[in-house]
Amino acid sequence: EAQVTQNPRYLITVTGKKLTVTCSQNMNHEYMSWYRQDPGLGLRQIYYSMNVEVTDKGDVPEGYKVSRKEKRNFPLILESPSPNQTSLYFCASSLKGTGSYEQYFGPGTRLTVT
Amino acid sequence: AQSVTQPDIHITVSEGASLELRCNYSYGATPYLFWYVQSPGQGLQLLLKYFSGDTLVQGIKGFEAEFKRSQSSFNLRKPSVHWSDAAEYFCASGYSTLTFGKGTMLLVSP
């Protein structure tokens, strides 16, 4: 089944403790992206990757890191999480990095930073 | 900067009634336009998309949307709402990256 998977689905952590949220897709997509969703703000893009080893900042990149060493994986790293990063995070992928291609979304990761 | 506006935060519609969700975009040229739906606890699912051509596009689950260049709008419609349509709806636009609106929560009353 074609899908985008994220792990973990739920995570509660403390301020300053490094964490990684994994994202993997099995559709051989070139483009991958991370969003955060907050009430009343919709989805905001954190980082995106047009292909392996090519990443770029989205609208809200502060406090996040990403890497794209393999085509299928696009982990999101929070090196020193803070409470304002408590949010619902979505990974998405599409065949190519142009808007004409549908983005497929993962199920989301709900992160709480205390 | 590119922006997408969904003026209605919440909308309540009676089951069987028609639905229209509003979306306005701000962009230098006609971007690609999308409507996504998010059911509670779920990810986003694409309902429909517009790139060019016929300004009335059909999507899944009986939804359609009309692109109006003069109004910079891409409103989502459904002639008869079902209780299962209760969800949050997001309009999005862009080229290489998507800009999302803040969403409209649809409530369906019996």
Structure token pair of residue B90 = 């997001």
pLDDT top residue among A23 and B43: A23
CB contact under 8 A, A98 and B97: no
Nearest to A52, CA basis, from A29, A34, A36 = A29
Best B32, B100, B104, B105 member to test A by mutation, with max A CBs in 10 Å, is: B100
Is B27 near chain A, with CB under 8 Å? no
Beta-carbon neighbour count of residue B71 at 10 Å?
A: 11
Q: How far apart are CA A89 and CA A36, in angstroms?
A: 4
pLDDT reading at A99 higher than 70: no
Measure in Å the smallest separation between the Cα of B48 and chain A Cα atoms: 9
Average pLDDT over residues A2-29: 96
pLDDT at A43: 92
Give per-residue pLDDT as tens, B3-37.
Answer: 899 999 999 999 999 999 999 998 767 678 999 99
Q: Is A53 left (phi over 0), alpha (psi -120 to 50) or beta?
A: left
Question: Across the interface, do A105 and B45 touch by the CB < 8 Å criterion?
Answer: yes
Is the per-residue pLDDT at B63 higher than 70?
Answer: yes
Mean pLDDT for A54-67 is: 95
Looking at residue B60, what is its pLDDT? 95
Rounded CA gap, A111 and A12, in Å? 6
Q: 3-state class of B1 per DSSP?
A: coil
pLDDT digits (tens, 9 = 90+) for A77-94: 999 999 999 999 999 999
Q: Where are the beta strands (DSSP E) in chain A?
A: 4-7, 10-13, 19-25, 31-38, 42-51, 54-57, 65-66, 76-78, 87-94, 104-105, 109-113
pLDDT digits (tens, 9 = 90+) for B64-79: 999 999 999 999 999 9
The three-state (H, E, C) secondary structure of B27-72, written as one string? CCCCCEEEEEEECCCCCEEEEEEECCCCCEEECHHHCEEEEEHHHC
Taking contacts as CB-CB distances below 8 angstroms, the residues of chain B near A98 are 95-96
pLDDT band at A103 (very low <50, low <70, confident <90, very high): confident
A75 confidence band (pLDDT: 50, 70, 90): very high
Determine, for residues A44 and B100 on separate chains, whether the beta-carbon distance falls below 8 Å.
yes
In percent, the amount of chain A with pLDDT more than 70 equals 97
- Per-residue pLDDT at A78: 97
Cβ of residue A98 closer than 8 Å to a chain B Cβ = yes
CB A80 within 8 A of CB A26: no
Cβ of B32 within 8 Å of Cβ of A99? The answer is yes
The amino acid that residue B25 corresponds to is Y
